[in-house]
Every structure is written in C-alpha cells, then in structure tokens.
Structure 1
Amino acid sequence: MASANIKIGLKCQECGDINYTTMKNPKTHTEKFETKKYSPRLKKHTLHKEVKLKS
C-alpha cells in the first residue's frame, strides 16, 4: 500500500534557496507549511515556506 505522503521543499523567502526537504500528508495538512529555519547563505534564521519538488 502506497503512503499518502509527498516530498516538499522549504524555500527561503529572502534569498530564494531551497534549503530543506521534508514529507507531508496533504490529506491531513491542507494549508501551506511555513516555519523559521536557518539559512546558510544569509547566516541567520529566516521564514521558509513550502514549495513542490519535481519528482
């Protein structure tokens, strides 16, 4: 049985880099995921939002 999880990327809103990847179940979490994460390019914590990754 296949899982319902999909792979998503977390994109920095300041520099535009996709720094992190994670899994998400779109049936239970319908809203876009966003969190503050560390951006290595900017060397500070910034807001990262969910983007779809190419399969």
Structure 2
Amino acid sequence: MRIKIGLKCEETGDINYSTFKNSKNTTGKLELKKYCPRLRKHTVHKEVKLKS
C-alpha cells in the first residue's frame, strides 16, 4: 500500500525530492523542511502526486 510521492518546494515550486509513503498509516499530506538547491537554504516542502 505504499505510493510514490514528490516533495515540492513552497517558495520556488520545484519538485526536489521523491519518496514513498504508506497511505494507510499516513493519511494526511507530508510537510517537511528540506534543502532547496536553487535557494541554497532549508524550506518547507509539501507532498504532491507524481505521474506513474
């Protein structure tokens, strides 16, 4: 029941990371602070769907 998701930077709109999540355990959207290479600082990244 794991699905592939992307993590999109809130400030630039770039999808910098992709990962898997268990949709049964984590029903809400992920929101993590990750490094954005374009801005060269840590920013909030939110979950988006990736094309399969």
- Structure 1 gaps of 5+ residues are none
Q: Name the amino acid aligned to 2:15.
A: I
User: What is the root-mean-square deviation in Å for CA atoms of aligned residues?
Assistant: 0.4
- Structure 2 gaps of 5+ residues are none
Specify the structure having the higher radius of gyration (Cα): 1
Moved over 2 A (4+): none
Identity of aligned residues (%): 71
Q: Deviations over 1:1-55 (max 9, x none)?
A: xxx1000000000000000000001111001001100000011100000000000
Report the TM-score when normalising by structure 2. 0.97
Alignment: residue pair count: 52
